[in-house]
Structure 1
Amino acid sequence: MLKIKHLLFLAFPVLLINSKLFAQSGGKIAGKIIDQKTSETLIGATVGLQGSTKGAATNVDGRYVLTDLQPGTYVVVVKYIGYQTKSISDIVVKAGAVTNLDIVMSEATTTALKEVVVKATYRQASVASLYAIQKNSVVISDGISSELIKKSPDRSTSDVLKRVSGTTIQDNKFVVVRGLSDRYNTASLDGTPLPSTEPNRKAFSFDIVPANLIENIIISKTATPDLSADFAGGNIQILTKDIPDQNFINLGAGYSYNSQSTFKNFQSGYRNTSDYFGFDGGARTLVDNFPTTAQIIGPPRLTPKQNLQSIQSLNNDFTVYNKNAFLGQSYQFTLGNVQEIGKNKNRFGTTIALTYRNAETTIPDLVRQYNNFNFKENQYKFSTNIGALANFAYSFGNNKITFKNLYNRVFDDIFTFRTGSNNSNGSYDSRFYAYDLTQKSLLKSTIDGDHKIGAGNAKLDWSLGYSNIKNDQPDQRKVNYLQSGPNEPFVASITNLGKENARFFSKLNENIYSGKVDFKLPVKMFGQTSNFKAGISSQYRKRDFNARFLGIILKDGTSDIRLRPIETLFGPNAVNSGAFELDEISAPNDNYNAHSYTNAGYIMLDNKISEKFRAVYGVRVERFDLKLNTLDPDQQQPRAELNNTDFLPSVNLTYSLTAKANLRASYYRTVARPEFRELAPFSYYDYELLATQIGNPLLKRTMIDNADLRYEFYPSAGQIFSVSAFYKKFANAIEPSIDDVNSSTTISYFNSKSAYVYGAELEARKSLDFINDAGFFKNSTIYANLALTKSKIQNDDNPQLLEHDRPLVGQSPYVINAGFQHNAFDNKLSVNILYNRLGKRIFYAGGVNFPSVYEAPRDVLDFQLGYKVLKGKGEIKVNGTDLLNQNDTFYYDKDKNPAGGTGNTFKRFTPGSAYSLTFNYNF
């Protein structure tokens, strides 16, 4: 398997190829040439300097670069057949720097031979191009660029996404768009789909992709036929960095302080040096010759010698180690290299990036007070994140080949100590210990080709992708001590295996292979240039999941070993005495494998009907086949099977009310398919939810009809005011089904009879120059987005349910994001203040005995202060996150009390405020 060291091997030759990496060079002018009406890139446009023979032609991406320019002021002239020639003046070039200039071109209005030259200044051209890109988007979408990411304290993609209009994040990693939970959203990285990273839900963990590796993120909230149709909330497209405009090396280092963990007591279980590098190192995994399930449960069972050897092979170090938590650390290295090859100045570009983060955080005094539970617990999380990116691209003539690779690994080791009472088991008090390590990794490789075909602007694009997801839990360990009375000793519950005395080992491995081909052909219709597109795609997914519930049980229930503290409970002398026996809880559904094929084809027309009216319409056809199997010997056919062919039409209409305003309307049909885990009948007890999760093999796919309406106004470049309305109707919506009749709650899934979501979004971004076009106000910008959403779903047919209809899980009635940005001292100083709040939302659906668990609203305030030093090559940043540190409260909504109330608190804690200092330097 390709690891970081292999990516480094790929990157190393790049460091050797270009010996001039640090040499001072002339300046550059670089950018894109785009169509004014559609923002489509123009291939083969000629870009030259007035009064000079120096020039370049745009490549298949519509990009150009003018290199080796002496410092000074230039005039750029752009020519393209069928378009008006454009002349842009006042372009300032500095030594060793790139001046970015995107240029919009207008089609010629006459066939006369006399050339028409449109003149503009550098600022006018830059503003015009930004307008065109903002205004000419085909679909209703929102996004965020790398420049805005740099101005926020965000470290991961999940942090970034919560800044986007109508988007929220659950558990700091799962995305909710327009009130629809992660299972109704889909994501792609560099044009190919991302899989679910979670063993117990359909969700991609966005904290796995570091923010500094992102070029931009676009969330498409409406569909076009060329987009994957497996979404209802949003299609999240993440692009990593491609060919740089100039050579660079960036080094960064940062340290962070957490208000409730740094330099304070930090508890953990066993720790290995390799943990700091994101790898377990094998100390927690089962040895290769560990007995099989059949050997353990028999008959015949293990011999005493085999039993002892097997127990000794496990990591029986249950010691609770104490230390002071250190500062959070982050380091990054990014290299960009671009070379011109041959007399045609073909370009070969490379971007290499390495990232490292490590943090020790604490959640103290987490409270659970409901039903028979009255718990208080401390959670300690040791987290390491390592990542590597290696992107290569070669642009030659009207062709471009790109090879992009991303590897990222998350190592989360959580130790939980819980005290308190559970009256349901008749005990007076308890002490619960949980040692829980999760290792997640993502490896993704994509090779793309872009080609111009013929004399026109026809294009053929193709891509091949491979992804590998791993999610391992090696040796999740749980031990509970019970006290039968106020003066009685605490006794370890180790005489049998159960929810609070077990060792859980699981491995999830999923491979995804994908490919697609897209063809675009410009055509003339209604006197306007339109674009016909068609394409095919295919994806194959293969998942293998294996789990084992093991444990060491005490043979003699009266033994004094039960009175030992956790540090010596499974000590060598007790183990070697033969007091313990290895046991296992086995079920035929603990292991499953599944695969799916998704084959799709589409045709669409991006049709400019008139100067003001644009229609993008077409149909997408998707064929989906899925099979899931378990190890159940009585299984005669797949436990779950889906075979569907879906015709998914869409139409997006845009009317340009003015040069600065659009009115948009759209209708589209999409689909949401069950995830492997939602179908798998594997049963897993989650000690944090205090519930068992199990899939439903009978689930059907969900069909969704969507409608959107949006007005958008661009008062000036980079500024926007928009208001949107949307409606979604679901057939067979997939939602959690809660069975809480017994002492242990079970969570499964069902297809609802009906469900709908509707809402409105408002977004505004405006410079304060309308107050005063100078000084402080000219360099200040305020922005805000507000989403109002309402949903309703019919629960299943159980007449005993407390709630027969309710909002969708994860849907907030409102979401507010706001911020203030200011630049000063010739952009050396930057200030960014960010605010987020969301309305109460269902975290956990209700059942027969308990209503739904809601997450209460809380205010989140972040800031970033940046200052450029060392002639602009270095930048110091001071970040603060969650400054208010308000309680995060999850409560049963029995009496509509948002504070939870006595006996209603599912959990309540404070996450802590964090402050960091980082330094970045560009060579």
Structure 2
Amino acid sequence: MRKQFFLVCLLLSAFFVNAQKGIIRGTVIDDVSGESLRGVTVAITGTSLTTTTDLDGSFSITADTGKVTLELSYVSYQNLTVEDVQVSSKDVTILNNLRLSRAASQLEAVVVTARQVRTSEAAIHTAKRRSPAMMDGISADKIRLAGDATAGAAVKRVTGVSVEDGKYVYIRGLGDRYSKTTLNGMDIPGLDPDRNSLQLDIFPSGLIDNMMISKNFIAELPADFTGGAMNIEIKDFPQRKTLNASLGISVNPRMHFNPDYLKYKGGSTDFLGFDDGTRALPDAARLARIPSPTSGHAPNQVNAFLKQFDPTLAGTRSTSLFDYDFSLSAGNQFSLKGKKNPKLGYVFSVSYKNSYTYYRDLIYGEYQKYLEPSQNELRYATLQEGQLGERNSLLGLLAGVAYKTNLSKIRLTATHLQNGISKAAKFDIQNDGQAVGQSGYIAKSDNLEYSQRSLTNVLLHGDHQFKNRDWELDWRISPTYSISNDPDIRRTAFTYDPGRTWFSAGAGGNPSRIWRYLNEVNIASRVDLTKKYEFNNQAAKLKFGLGHLYKNREYEILAYNLQFFSPQDWSGISYDPNQVMNPENLYPNSPNGAYLISGNRTPNPNEYQSNAMNTAAYISNEMSVTDKLKTIVGIRAEQYTQRHTGRNNQGTISLDNEKVLNTLNFFPTVNLIYAIRSNQNLRVSYARTIARPSFKEMSFAQILDPITNRFFNGSMLPYNDPTTGEVTWNGKLVETDINNFDIRWEKFMPSAQIFSVSAFAKTFANPIEMVRIYEQQTSAEYQARNVGDGLLVGGEVEFRKTLDFIAENLRSFSINGNFTYVMSRIDMTDVEYEARERYKKDGEALKSYRPMAGQAPYVINAGIGYNNPDKGIDAGLFYNVKGPVLWIVGGSLFPDVYQKPFNSLNLTFAKTLGDHFAIDVKASNILNAKMQKVFKSYEAADQPFETYTPGTAFGLGVSYKF
């Protein structure tokens, strides 16, 4: 009995001793370069407890609770003493980015207190100052304090960045074609497969380590960007055990709790972002001869086939709800036993967003010039005015595990994103029969659409350092599978003639149904090798590596139209589209006798398969040729091959896995950084980059947007002038070659303050722009084409300044701003110039050049912020506007389309409540600005291409850390 009592006391004693210990974790970086330091000795003063930092510069050490002092020592660096480190048994103590300075003669050890090294913003600041590229970024600490829920919300705080639709990054006013987003340094397609930029609102902010933007090219980056490249780094090793939950709601009085909201009944899983089969295409619809009165099928077979389709053809009115989102994330790391200090970490996240949008003043217009040179005003060809209701559901899952030793780290991360968008719209349509190519009619249209997108990505990443510390190997493999389907898009437009309502193929059109399918496989891999050495007694690096990207896409469009076997009579249904496919109106019943015909040819010109391979190699050297001048010189080679299988409408051109692009390009880059002072740099750089056409652009496909009734045509479709017969587009789209020149002076100050002035110039050979096909005058059709050579010259001013220079008690307040001014020019081709000349107005002085499509003439970002970590408050008022942007190139009969400035003013307020709770309050589009794309022509009033009012939204978010 005595032995048992002694054993229990021993166990309790061991438990009590263990309970009185806590864990200290942190990272150590070079004060000059901002790079992590491996092998730094970390010791607790007065004890025998020591450890060393691993390849990430991270350490973990167990100590008794209470206040302790850390001693950090490293060969050729000053010792660092960190006092008053509070150790708790209930939590992990984090000391991020402890900074070691290189040793010099008669320098004493540096002593700091723990509270002075609590933020990683200083590391971001140092990284920007020492980076070989012109960079900007935001850290995890800043995102956490600001209370931003997603990457899309957080990146708005980075100067020089605009975010379109809350998702896509635009840098220096350049559009999507010239911006790029990567995840963990790897190419990954977004949920919209035709965009270069990744959709940012799908990533919960709690899992982001940092987001960095390179504003110029260096050899280790992919060459297909010009405006900027943003990389999102996902956390792989949480420094402490985390279990976070957040919930947010947002209300827009213009859109939510609106009884006129439009929706339609879909499947039971729409709220999860995918269709449950409700909208699936019946098997018989893929037959060469689908069941119809002329196909040889019996009437009962035709009737049974028709009943397999959902009869819903119109949206219904309902009351819209508010937007809401929630997320749950968890992570931790464990120390394992072993001589190499092995650690195992994991992260997991699930997020869900559901939003409702209702535009009650939506306008789509197609306008023309009058043929008379004396008439300056524009005339409409087709005008659609109506309402659109949209429900957007987004589900995100992320899971990752990482294993790390002192010299190696391997991580495996898997991401799945599921997005479903349901739309219902009603439009009043007017078509002007006096306009060129138009028949003249009045119609009412009901549109139903569902888009289902998913993305599954896996990243396997290894990082290895060799014992002598001179060599580092980094390798990554990242396959992605994405799906983008639009099942059963329905458009039903009644044509109204005097005394008659009916369906007319030559007017409003017959009821139509479309299925679109896209599957894409994306496999990216790369290996990078770094050799560290010294030159002129300063650190230098030689980098070289290989990369390979393989993409394969399969795309198909299937279209069907409703026909009528007997005379139409819709007088008994009150013109309700939802009754058009009632049993009494289907073949072989009379009147109406509705049946479906296939609009698909064999082989289908709207079906294609494309693949691309991009094999890259680079070498880059970074060294200081003097104490003040650093050079980063490199060259990248990319062998890019794109193949296509498809055919044109007439069947006269058919390609079978034929090469449509096959180029070997070399991309030299030179970056010079002159350190005027320790906190001031003068940067000069040159680089050559490229912009390549997308799969959709390099095809024969004709893709209808059923809501706007506009067609996107693949660039491989050639065109002739309808008047002269001259070839105006040869169907051969080529890459855009770009030369980039940058110069920048930057000054870095304490508390992440910065002031910089930049100038840049870019030349474009064969730029790709979206062009209105003026050769096609009966319908609204658009195509990507190479236009004349381009030139872009601009300047940029950035600043972030705290207000303590006014008064010390204003230290928590700061102002920041970014102003970019750009002059862009496209020297028009002879074809474009002559087409514009043909429709020139009296008194109009036509120039041989015009602005570049997609480039804003100016971008303004400005804000005032309040940041008080002691009180846990982060607040800000942010303003953003872009100048008028040429959106679609017109010419000839059709005027140019411009996007008008959108004055965005947003307010955020975030507050932490204790150690666990945080709240954030937001107001977006406070000025109630209107989104407008308009037709512009010489001395004519602007006319709508697309306009709507987003309204002002108010949001409240709550998060809890367990």
Is there any run of 5+ residues in structure 2 with no aligned partner, and where? Answer: 1-14, 368-379, 717-731, 838-845
Distance 2:681 2:115 in 1: 23
Deviates more, 1:420-429 or 1:122-131: 122-131
2:805 corresponds to which residue?
A: 770
In 2, are the aligned partners of 1:427 and 1:482 still within 8 Å (CA)? no
Query: Which residue of 561, 570, 582 maps to 2:581?
Result: 570
The correspondence of residues 475-554 of structure 1 with structure 2, limited to 5 A, is 475-485=488-498, 488-493=499-504, 501-554=511-564
In 1, are the aligned partners of 2:510 and 2:561 still within 8 Å (CA)? no
Distance 1:651 1:192 in 2: 23
**Pairing 1:226–2:245 present:** no
Distance 2:56 2:146 in 1: 29
**Pairing 1:429–2:442 present:** yes
Distance 1:125 1:251, change over 3 A: closer
Q: What are the superposed Cα offsets for residues 97-156 of structure 1, whole Å, 9 maximum, x if unpaired?
A: 43323123333447xxx9963444446667975653331112002222334444557554
Distance 1:896 1:97 in 2: 68
The correspondence of residues 105-124 of structure 1 with structure 2, limited to 5 A, is 105-109=100-104, 117-122=109-114
In 2, are the aligned partners of 1:24 and 1:96 still within 8 Å (CA)? no
1:133 corresponds to which residue?
A: 127
Distance 2:293 2:547 in 1: 49
Is there any run of 5+ residues in structure 1 with no aligned partner, and where? Answer: 1-19
In 1, are the aligned partners of 2:771 and 2:888 still within 8 Å (CA)? no
Distance 1:298 1:140 in 2: 67
* Amino acid across the alignment from 1:725: A
The correspondence of residues 702-717 of structure 1 with structure 2, limited to 5 A, is 702-717=736-751
In 2, are the aligned partners of 1:435 and 1:477 still within 8 Å (CA)? yes
1:629 corresponds to which residue?
A: 645
Q: What are the superposed Cα offsets for residues 404-444 of structure 1, whole Å, 9 maximum, x if unpaired?
A: 12111221111111114222355553211111111121211
The correspondence of residues 228-377 of structure 1 with structure 2, limited to 5 A, is 228-265=222-259, 266-295=261-290, 300=295, 302-344=297-339, 345-368=341-364, 370=367, 371-377=380-386
Distance 2:868 2:157 in 1: 23
Query: Which residue of 851, 855, 859 maps to 1:807?
Result: 851
Deviates more, 1:851-860 or 1:823-832: 823-832
In 1, are the aligned partners of 2:313 and 2:492 still within 8 Å (CA)? no
* Amino acid across the alignment from 1:414: K
Distance 1:116 1:154, change over 3 A: closer
Q: What are the superposed Cα offsets for residues 529-563 of structure 1, whole Å, 9 maximum, x if unpaired?
A: 21111111111111111110112222224334796
Q: What are the superposed Cα offsets for residues 820-839 of structure 1, whole Å, 9 maximum, x if unpaired?
A: 22245932333222211111
1:4 corresponds to which residue?
A: none
* Amino acid across the alignment from 1:117: A
Distance 2:206 2:406 in 1: 31
- What's the CA shift for 1:26? 5.3
What is the TM-score with the length of structure 2 in the denominator? 0.87
Distance 1:102 1:635, change over 3 A: same
**Pairing 1:861–2:890 present:** no
* Amino acid across the alignment from 2:782: I
* Amino acid across the alignment from 1:669: R
Distance 2:510 2:169 in 1: 31
Query: Which residue of 887, 890, 894 maps to 1:846?
Result: 890
Q: What are the superposed Cα offsets for residues 769-812 of structure 1, whole Å, 9 maximum, x if unpaired?
A: 122212xx122222111111221123443211368532222211
Query: Which residue of 61, 66, 70 maps to 2:61?
Result: 66
Aligned residues: 888
* Structure 1 SS opposite 2:276: coil
Distance 1:654 1:287, change over 3 A: same
- What's the CA shift for 1:84? 3.2
* Amino acid across the alignment from 1:186: K
- What's the CA shift for 1:38? 2.5
2:5 corresponds to which residue?
A: none
Distance 2:122 2:141 in 1: 19
Deviates more, 1:883-892 or 1:509-518: 883-892
Distance 1:68 1:496, change over 3 A: farther
Query: Which residue of 954, 958, 961 maps to 1:915?
Result: 954
**Pairing 1:890–2:890 present:** no
* Structure 1 SS opposite 2:579: coil
Distance 1:307 1:744, change over 3 A: same
* Amino acid across the alignment from 2:493: N
Distance 2:285 2:507 in 1: 19
**Pairing 1:784–2:798 present:** no
* Structure 1 SS opposite 2:578: coil
Q: Quick one: percent identity of the two aligned structures? A: 26
Distance 1:575 1:474 in 2: 22
* Structure 2 SS opposite 1:135: helix
- What's the CA shift for 1:269? 1.7
Distance 1:435 1:782, change over 3 A: same
* Structure 2 SS opposite 1:714: strand
Distance 1:824 1:170, change over 3 A: closer
- What's the CA shift for 1:905? 1.9
Query: Which residue of 818, 828, 839 maps to 2:862?
Result: 818
In 2, are the aligned partners of 1:202 and 1:678 still within 8 Å (CA)? no
* Amino acid across the alignment from 2:311: N
* Structure 2 SS opposite 1:567: helix
Distance 1:203 1:332, change over 3 A: closer
Distance 1:107 1:757 in 2: 43
Distance 1:307 1:150, change over 3 A: farther
Distance 1:813 1:58, change over 3 A: same
Deviates more, 1:669-678 or 1:55-64: 55-64
Q: What are the superposed Cα offsets for residues 160-218 of structure 1, whole Å, 9 maximum, x if unpaired?
A: 44443333334443433223221222221112102254366665444444445433221
Distance 1:78 1:289, change over 3 A: farther
Distance 1:75 1:243 in 2: 25
In 2, are the aligned partners of 1:293 and 1:586 still within 8 Å (CA)? no
Distance 1:584 1:491 in 2: 21
Query: Which residue of 598, 606, 609 maps to 2:622?
Result: 606
Q: Pick the structure with greater CA Rg.
A: 2
Distance 1:141 1:31, change over 3 A: same
In 2, are the aligned partners of 1:311 and 1:552 still within 8 Å (CA)? no
- What's the CA shift for 1:290? 3.8
Query: Which residue of 486, 489, 494 maps to 1:473?
Result: 486
- What's the CA shift for 1:78? 1.9
* Amino acid across the alignment from 1:839: G
Deviates more, 1:276-285 or 1:38-47: 38-47
Query: Which residue of 611, 615, 634 maps to 2:631?
Result: 615
Distance 1:99 1:337, change over 3 A: closer
Q: What are the superposed Cα offsets for residues 439-492 of structure 1, whole Å, 9 maximum, x if unpaired?
A: 12121110100111132242111111111121110111111112123xx35434
- What's the CA shift for 1:348? 0.9
Distance 1:405 1:718 in 2: 34
In 2, are the aligned partners of 1:163 and 1:817 still within 8 Å (CA)? no
Deviates more, 1:529-538 or 1:361-370: 361-370
Aligned-pair RMSD on alpha carbons?
Answer: 2.8
- What's the CA shift for 1:878? 1.6
In 1, are the aligned partners of 2:313 and 2:447 still within 8 Å (CA)? no
Query: Which residue of 696, 708, 723 maps to 2:757?
Result: 723
Deviates more, 1:307-316 or 1:557-566: 557-566
What is the TM-score with the length of structure 1 in the denominator? 0.91
Distance 1:40 1:825, change over 3 A: closer
Deviates more, 1:359-368 or 1:201-210: 201-210
Query: Which residue of 380, 396, 404 maps to 2:389?
Result: 380
Query: Which residue of 415, 431, 438 maps to 2:424?
Result: 415
Distance 1:847 1:166, change over 3 A: farther
- What's the CA shift for 1:352? 0.6
